Amino acid sequence: MANITKKVSWSSRADESGATGEGTPLLNGSGQPRYCRQLSGGSIFQVGRLSTVDLEEEISAEEDSLRGRLKEIPHNEKLLSLKFESLDYDNIENQLFLEEERRMSYMGFRCLEISRWVVCGLIGFLTGLIACFIDIVVEELAGIKYRVVKENIEKFTEVGGLSISLILWVVLNSIFVMVGAIIVACFEPIAAGSGIPQIKCYLNGVKIPRVVRLKTLVVKVAGVICSVVGGLAVGKEGPMIHSGAVVAAGVSQGRSTSLKKDFKMFEYFRRDTEKRDFVSAGAAAGVSAAFGAPVGGVLFSLEEGASFWNQMLTWRIFFASMISTFTLNFFLSIYHKNAGDLSNPGLINFGRFESDVRNVHVIIPLFVCQGKQHALELKTLSSHL
């Protein structure tokens, strides 16, 4: 197979006039005369021009295949680079972008800001609804499981067949866990686990395929329900961060890739910078719904999640976290037939303390000391910064 190569040689201006000089090897190792020119002052300068000559060289098939193998990217790395890419979190401030921003009126700018607050409110509301749905379904399925096992225990205890109840308990838990595992493994493997590492990657600029899709959200919710009901040592808190991020990514873009539906809403927010900010709000809303702590949600996104932040984003994320907590408490109070009771701590539950004597004032000093310790740690940290 013929390959065209270029040989580079230096020739002096004296070459044109027929002068002779000292020979020196070229870059390719071949000998070629080099010409020097003696000027006044005793110094010698090399005055030359770069000339290229196209030659055809015959290359064997073995050498050609070797060169192809060396330049080719390994198959595994090629697949990895195709799946993962970086997100463009820097606005390209070219002439077109600046002209578009200048054409926006003051009223248009205010409407855009209001739209950001509306989207954050929707994110908090939908995240709270998802948390409420998970909590109610888990409670109902767990109630059915416990009722079946209890009836079996009452039936076989008199005849000494308690082992049958134990086997039934194991079988029911295994069925729920197997259903959840099959759903995740067959339909959307990216929904496995809590999803917190994937969301941290997304907030720091790494785009993981299908991590914020609607299908991922559905599979995540189903897997969490089956895992918790099946008695695994997992919780509903971690996956809520992923669920809130998926909700934020879908609502802020005004379209669904999984459903192939475009609602023609919030088209201005269809860029990586805006989507990143809303995903931060969704992660915070998930933390807030899980633990009943709006401030904790903001701190999670600020300290653990996002690497890009601004002051206005803090208030919007806090607003989304408050809406999420309020929505969860409101609908759970209706479900428990105690409408208006907004004291639910979120999805996390350490059980209830039922006692006639409530000496709460005894443990108040412990919380005061703990708060003082945290204040001292924050003061030390701020002094170092």
Per-residue confidence (pLDDT) for residue 63, from 0 to 100: 54
Neighbours of 61 (CB within 10 A): 8
Evaluate if residue 251 carries a pLDDT over 70: yes
Per-residue confidence (pLDDT) for residue 349, from 0 to 100: 64
Asked whether 35 and 29 are in contact (CB, 8 A), the reply is no
**Could you give the CA distance from residue 290 to residue 294 in angstroms, rounded to a whole number?**
10
Place of tokens 């680079």: 81
**Could you give the CA distance from residue 325 to residue 302 in angstroms, rounded to a whole number?**
18
The two tokens of residue 221 are 């919710």
Per-residue confidence (pLDDT) for residue 236, from 0 to 100: 81
Helix, strand, or coil (residue 7): strand
Evaluate if residue 379 carries a pLDDT over 90: no
Q: DSSP string spanning 111-179?
A: HHHHHHHHHHHHHHHHHHHHHHHHHHHHHHHHHHHHHHHHHHHHHHTTTT-HHHHHHHHHHHHHHHHHH
Asked whether 290 and 348 are in contact (CB, 8 A), the reply is yes
The two tokens of residue 91 are 């606005």
Evaluate if residue 137 carries a pLDDT over 70: yes
**Could you give the CA distance from residue 82 to residue 74 in angstroms, rounded to a whole number?**
12
Residue 135 amino acid letter: D
Region of poorest pLDDT, from 56-60, 129-133, 268-272, 325-329: 56-60
Region of poorest pLDDT, from 1-5, 80-84, 90-94, 153-157: 1-5
Evaluate if pTM is beyond 0.85.
no
What percent of the chain has a predicted confidence (pLDDT) above 90? 23
Per-residue confidence (pLDDT) for residue 310, from 0 to 100: 80
Helix, strand, or coil (residue 359): coil
Q: DSSP string spanning 172-236?
A: HHHHHHHHHHHHHHHH-GGG-S-SHHHHHHHHTTEE-TTTT-HHHHHHHHHHHHHHHHTT-S--S
The number of angstroms, rounded, from the C-alpha of 206 to the middle of its chain's C-alpha atoms is: 7
**CB proximity list for 99: less than 8 A, separation 6 or greater:** none
Residue 136 amino acid letter: I
Per-residue confidence (pLDDT) for residue 303, from 0 to 100: 82
Query: Is the model more confident about 17 or about 163?
Result: 163
Tens-place pLDDT, residues 26-54: 444 444 444 444 444 444 444 444 444 44
Tens-place pLDDT, residues 175-200: 999 999 999 999 988 888 888 888 88
Query: Is the model more confident about 313 or about 364?
Result: 313
Using a 10 angstrom Cβ sphere, with 0-12 exposed, 13-18 middle and 19 or more buried, the burial of residue 281 is buried
Give the mean pLDDT of 350-377: 65
Instruction: pLDDT band for 19, please (50, 70, 90 cuts).
Output: very low
Evaluate if residue 247 carries a pLDDT over 90: yes
Place of tokens 């790395």: 77
CA angle 61, 66, 72 (to 5 degrees): 125
**Residue of 225, 226, 286, 218 lying closest to 256 (CA atoms):** 218
Per-residue confidence (pLDDT) for residue 381, from 0 to 100: 56
Tens-place pLDDT, residues 194-235: 888 888 888 888 888 888 889 999 999 999 999 999 988 888
Per-residue confidence (pLDDT) for residue 360, from 0 to 100: 57
**Could you give the CA distance from residue 201 to residue 209 in angstroms, rounded to a whole number?**
11
Query: Is the model more confident about 285 or about 99?
Result: 285
What's the whole-number average pLDDT of the chain? Answer: 75
Instruction: pLDDT band for 382, please (50, 70, 90 cuts).
Output: low
CA torsion sign, 18 to 19 to 20 to 22?
Answer: negative
The two tokens of residue 215 are 């299908």
Per-residue confidence (pLDDT) for residue 21, from 0 to 100: 42
Distance from first CA to last CA of the chain, Å, rounded? 64
Per-residue confidence (pLDDT) for residue 47, from 0 to 100: 42
Query: Is the model more confident about 152 or about 16?
Result: 152
Per-residue confidence (pLDDT) for residue 104, from 0 to 100: 81
What does residue 282 show for φ and ψ, rounded to 5 degrees?
Answer: -65, -40
Give the mean pLDDT of 257-284: 86
What percent of the chain has a predicted confidence (pLDDT) above 70? 69
**Could you give the CA distance from residue 170 to residue 185 in angstroms, rounded to a whole number?**
22
